[in-house]
Amino acid sequence: MKLACQEGLVPGNSLPERLERLAAWGYEGIEFWGGGIKERVAEVQSALRDSPVRASTICAGFRGCLLDADPSQRALAMQDIRELLFVAGDVGAVGLIVVPIFGAPRIPDLSPLATPEQLERDLLLKLLEDLLQTAEKAGAHILLEPLNRYETHFLRRLEQAVSLCDALPHPHLKLMADFFHMSIEEADIPAALRAAGNHLAHVHLADSNRLLPGQGHTDFRSGFAALRAMGYTGYMALECGIAGNPLVELPKAAAYLRAQMAVG
């Protein structure tokens, strides 16, 4: 398992400075926000070339919504996702994190023919068929991210993402797990991770209060033990707030996480 951190959490006047700090603190990857990354590809490639830190992932940042009732919003999301998949491939990232929809359904309820959720699932699978062709060409993965009930109605538990991967078997369709969202939605985090199996290709780290690991009460030790037993060797990226000075707290978080990984 490799520790990573979102770029925006790291103080610094330049990407090389932020990468230098991450390396010194023991982080092996950096996750980029998708918004504006297309215009930064040369900068990112140049900075990574001189750093031991690798690009772990690109986190969303696309416009529109895959499950919007408005075709123009779906088309906008498809266009941006295609471009970001190629960016992910260009910078050597595992893939692009994709949240299909935030908030409530935007598709009308057609019961008894179909509920919004049934229509959304069918629509998403159809759109993913198209996007996976791009993912394969780009050499990057689509990483489906379940959120919690306060942020989305559609994809909230790992088993739901697994179901989508099973319905559309493709080597470039994977899921990611976020410890914060799982702390709300999963009854048993280690069991949910084990059930995800080889569909799991990325992890987000945040404590129960959405702050840095170690600043809340999440049991990371048991989750990491499950990941280790599964043979998971991918990135685990910080996506959270920071209580305190990042220059102090980010290295402390890395030490805390490595201690949790080493136990059991």
Which residue type occupies 220?
F
Element (DSSP H or E) covering residue 174: strand 173-178
Residue 264 pLDDT > 60, yes or no?
no
pTM of the model: 0.96
Place of tokens 């199996």: 197
Q: How far apart are alpha carbons 34 and 86 in whole angstroms?
A: 12
* Coil/strand/helix, residue 250: helix
Residue 143 phi, psi (nearest 5): -110, 105
Q: How far apart are alpha carbons 227 and 185 in whole angstroms?
A: 18
194 burial class (0-12, 13-18, 19+ CB within 10 angstroms)? middle
Question: Mind listing the pLDDT tens digit for each residue in 32-51?
Answer: 999 999 999 999 999 999 99
Residue 263 pLDDT > 80, yes or no?
no
Question: Mind listing the pLDDT tens digit for each residue in 130-143?
Answer: 999 999 999 999 99
Asked if 124 and 152 touch (Cβ cutoff 8 Å), the reply is no
Nearest Cα to Cα of residue 7 among 44, 41, 52: 44
- Beta pairing partners, 29: 4, 54
Q: Count of alpha carbons within 13 Å of 20, Cβ hemisphere only?
A: 7
What's the average model confidence in pLDDT over 150-163? 98
48 Cβ contact list (under 8 Å, min separation 6): 19, 54, 55, 91, 92
What's the average model confidence in pLDDT over 73-97? 98
Question: Mind listing the pLDDT tens digit for each residue in 172-185?
Answer: 999 999 999 999 99
Q: Other CB atoms closer than 10 Å to residue 75's CB: what's the count?
A: 12
Query: Domain ranges in the chain?
Result: 2-262
Asked if 223 and 189 touch (Cβ cutoff 8 Å), the reply is yes
Q: Count of alpha carbons within 13 Å of 192, Cβ hemisphere only?
A: 23
What's the average model confidence in pLDDT over 156-170? 98
User: In the numeric block, which tokens belong to residue 114?
Assistant: 């179909």
What's the average model confidence in pLDDT over 67-87? 98
Question: Mind listing the pLDDT tens digit for each residue in 178-219?
Answer: 999 999 999 999 999 999 999 999 999 999 999 999 999 999
User: In the numeric block, which tokens belong to residue 14?
Assistant: 């330049």
pLDDT at position 169, please?
A: 96
- Give the CATH number of domain 2-262: 3.20.20.150
Asked if 253 and 214 touch (Cβ cutoff 8 Å), the reply is yes
